Structures are given as structure tokens and as C-alpha cells.
């Protein structure tokens, strides 16, 4: 199960439609376009819209705070909706 975090602070548990791993299209829909995967731990990534700056997406303060508090990351910025996903859930 992955967690989608909106800029409004909603933490929403999401599961792949096939029950095993997310298809690229599912992840793109969640972040609003093509995504970039940034490793935040040995087994976890945060997926973000790779054109967040170009599209002038707002800073997602809730996910930034969550990541800085729960992972060994000092400063971390996510623009728009982010998805925290286990490496076994996406290809």
C-alpha cells in the first residue's frame, strides 16, 4: 500500500488496481503527470510530478514535514501531490 499526500494535508492510502504493483498510468494520474522517483530510504521512494516547477505547483508542506521527520533527510521539497511508495509496488 502506498500513501498519496495532497498539498491540503490529506494522507490517503492507495492500493494498485491489480493488487500487486502500480502501473505507470496509475502513478501519473496521482501526481498529475510524468513523475520522478526520489529514494528516501532503502525500500521507499517519493514520487513527484517532474514538471512541478514548470507547472508552478504549490509546495506540499505536509509531505515535506512528514519526510523530514520520519526519514534521514534534512531538507526536502515536493511540489504538488506526492506518493510514498515501497520499491516492490512500482516498476
pLDDT for 73: 75
Question: Does the structure show a pLDDT above 90 at 80?
Answer: yes
Q: What is the mean pLDDT of residues 22-29?
A: 96
Question: Does the structure show a pLDDT above 80 at 11?
Answer: yes
Question: Does the structure show a pLDDT above 80 at 75?
Answer: no
Question: Does the structure show a pLDDT above 80 at 72?
Answer: no
Alpha carbon 63 to chain centroid, angstroms: 8
> For residue 54, what pLDDT band results from cuts at 50, 70 and 90?
very high
44 and 86 Cβ atoms separated by less than 8 Å: yes
Amino acid at each position: 500500500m502506498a500513501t498519496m499526500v495532497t498539498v491540503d494535508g490529506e494522507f490517503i492510502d492507495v492500493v494498485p488496481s491489480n493488487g500487486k504493483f502500480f502501473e505507470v498510468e496509475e502513478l501519473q494520474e496521482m501526481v498529475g503527470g510524468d513523475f520522478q522517483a526520489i529514494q528516501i530510504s532503502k525500500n521507499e521512494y517519493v514520487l513527484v510530478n517532474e514538471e512541478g516547477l514548470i507547472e508552478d505547483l504549490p509546495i506540499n508542506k505536509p509531505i515535506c514535514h512528514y519526510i523530514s521527520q520520519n526519514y534521514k533527510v534534512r531538507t526536502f521539497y515536493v511540489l504538488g501531490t506526492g506518493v510514498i511508495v515501497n520499491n516492490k509496488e512500482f516498476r
